[in-house]
């Protein structure tokens, strides 16, 4: 399959349809790098032609919260099929983040009401989908169905984190959504982990007194603030 560089965000789906592979699903996750709350995966099948053109569609991380909500509404209205899967913090701890991530993506595809002929995934291949697939580098920026899945996953997870903020207001989940920021680290240091924090993450274990706090004179401080700074202990095996 050849996709022209100037084909735009819908180029992958058009190329696959020309090759006789239709429908095409995109799948993506939100929350892998967070140290609290669930992991959420979304899967989306967009229709061909103008019906599948989603106004404002882009990688969820590049959209404002208001824009994501608008795009989400368009995706769920226009999609031939869409699904969302929530993997709780406890299952993330039990499985490890990589295994939980792959499992979430598989479940999201399996729950689609329309069985895809091909699946596009963001960044890395996922086996066990039951149909052929392709891992697309920065897929949520270059493939429409993956971008749509990223929006569905992100909006769903953000809504869940706002709900958890009502249960655990001391951590301000509504603002940082469970990702590692300086404010989140300060709340962890003051209050310790909440019941929805992921205990596989080193910063959470330190806040719980299960890991030694590094001496800054010996060990450089770990960076915080970026959504994909994963502070997980190496327990996946």
**Domain contains 120:** yes
Top-confidence residue, 236 or 195 = 195
**Domain contains 70:** yes
E strand or H helix at 140: helix 139-142
d(CA 177, CA 161): 5
Percentage of the chain beyond pLDDT 90 is 85
The per-residue pLDDT for range 164-193, each reduced to its tens digit, is: 999 999 999 999 999 999 999 999 999 999
**Domain contains 124:** yes
The per-residue pLDDT for range 196-235, each reduced to its tens digit, is: 999 999 999 999 999 887 766 655 444 333 333 344 433 3
**Domain contains 209:** no
pLDDT value for 2: 53
The per-residue pLDDT for range 102-112, each reduced to its tens digit, is: 999 999 999 99
Q: Which two tokens stand for residue 100?
A: 């939980």
**208-229 as b/e: b if 16+ CB within 10 A:** eeeeeeeeeeeeeeeeeeebee
**Domain contains 180:** no
Top-confidence residue, 225 or 16 = 16
Q: Which CATH number does the domain housing residue 120 bear? A: 3.30.420.10
Residue with tokens 């951590």: 171
Exposed (0-12), middle (13-18) or buried (19+): which is 141, by Cβ within 10 Å?
middle
Residue with tokens 């697939």: 133
pLDDT value for 4: 52
**Domain contains 200:** no
**Domains identified in the chain, total number:** 1
**Domain contains 106:** yes
**Domain contains 179:** no
pLDDT value for 216: 65
Exposed (0-12), middle (13-18) or buried (19+): which is 169, by Cβ within 10 Å?
exposed
Is the peptide bond between 23 and the residue preceding it cis, with omega within 30 degrees of 0? yes
Domain with 158 in it: 11-164
């Amino acid at each position: 399959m050849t996709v022209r560089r100037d084909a735009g965000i819908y180029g992958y789906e058009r190329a696959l349809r020309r090759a006789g592979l239709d429908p095409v699903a995109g799948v993506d996750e939100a929350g892998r790098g967070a140290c609290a709350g669930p992991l959420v995966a979304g899967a989306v099948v967009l229709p061909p032609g103008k019906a599948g053109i989603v106004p404002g569609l882009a990688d969820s991380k590049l959209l404002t919260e208001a824009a994501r909500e608008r795009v989400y509404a368009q995706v769920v209205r226009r999609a031939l099929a869409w699904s969302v899967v929530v993997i709780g913090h406890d299952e993330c701890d039990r499985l490890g983040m990589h295994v939980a991530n792959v499992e979430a993506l598989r479940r999201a595809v399996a729950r689609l009401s329309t069985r895809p002929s091909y699946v596009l995934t963001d960044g890395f291949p996922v086996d066990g989908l039951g149909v052929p697939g392709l891992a697309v580098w920065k897929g949520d920026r270059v493939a429409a169905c993956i971008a749509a899945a990223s929006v569905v996953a992100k909006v769903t997870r953000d809504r869940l984190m706002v709900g958890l903020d009502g249960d655990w207001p001391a951590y301000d989940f509504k603002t940082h959504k469970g990702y590692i920021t300086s404010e989140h680290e300060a709340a962890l240091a003051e209050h310790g982990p909440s019941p929805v924090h992921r205990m596989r993450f080193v910063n959470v274990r330190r806040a719980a007194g299960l890991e030694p706090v590094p001496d800054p004179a010996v060990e450089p401080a770990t960076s915080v603030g970026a959504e994909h700074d994963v502070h997980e202990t190496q327990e996946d095996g």
